[in-house]
Amino acid sequence: MRIGNSKSFEDQEKSKMNLEMRYKNISLTRFLELLDQDKLFWLVKRLSGNDTGITGGHQSGIYVPRQFMEAVVPAVVTTEQYNPTREISCYIPSQDCLKTGIQAKYYNNKYFPEMKLKKKYDEFRLTRWVGTPLQDVENTGSICILAGTCRSGETELLGWVSNTAEEEDLIEYWLGKEVEPGQMYLSSASAEKSDLPLLKQLPVSWLKTFPTGRDIFEFIETRFPQSSWAKSIDELLLKRRAMEFDIFSEVERHDVMPNIKDGFTSVDEFIKYANSVANRRKSRAGTSLELHLESIFRYEQLKFEAQVITEQNKKPDFIFPSGKDYHNPAFPSAKLHMLASKTCCKDRWRQVISEADRIEKKHLFTLQQGVSSNQLAEMYQHGIILVVPQPIMSSFPEDYRTKIMNLTNFVDFIKESQQAV
Which are the catalytic amino acids?
326
For 209, phi and psi rounded to 5 degrees? -125, 120
Sign of CA dihedral 376, 381, 382, 383: positive
CA 360 to chain CA centroid, Å, is: 29
Parallel, antiparallel, or unpaired for β 41-46 and 123-127? unpaired
**Which one-letter amino acid corresponds to residue 288?**
S
Report how far residue 7's alpha carbon sits from residue 183's, in angstroms, rounded to the nearest whole number. Answer: 36
Q: Are 110 and 122 a contacting pair, CB within 8 Å? A: yes
Report how far residue 218's alpha carbon sits from residue 213's, in angstroms, rounded to the nearest whole number. Answer: 9
Closest CA to 413 of 389, 387, 378, 380: 387
For 389, phi and psi rounded to 5 degrees? -60, 140
In what helix (H) or strand (E) does residue 10 lie, and over which residues does it extend? helix 6-23
Report how far residue 87's alpha carbon sits from residue 367's, in angstroms, rounded to the nearest whole number. Answer: 33
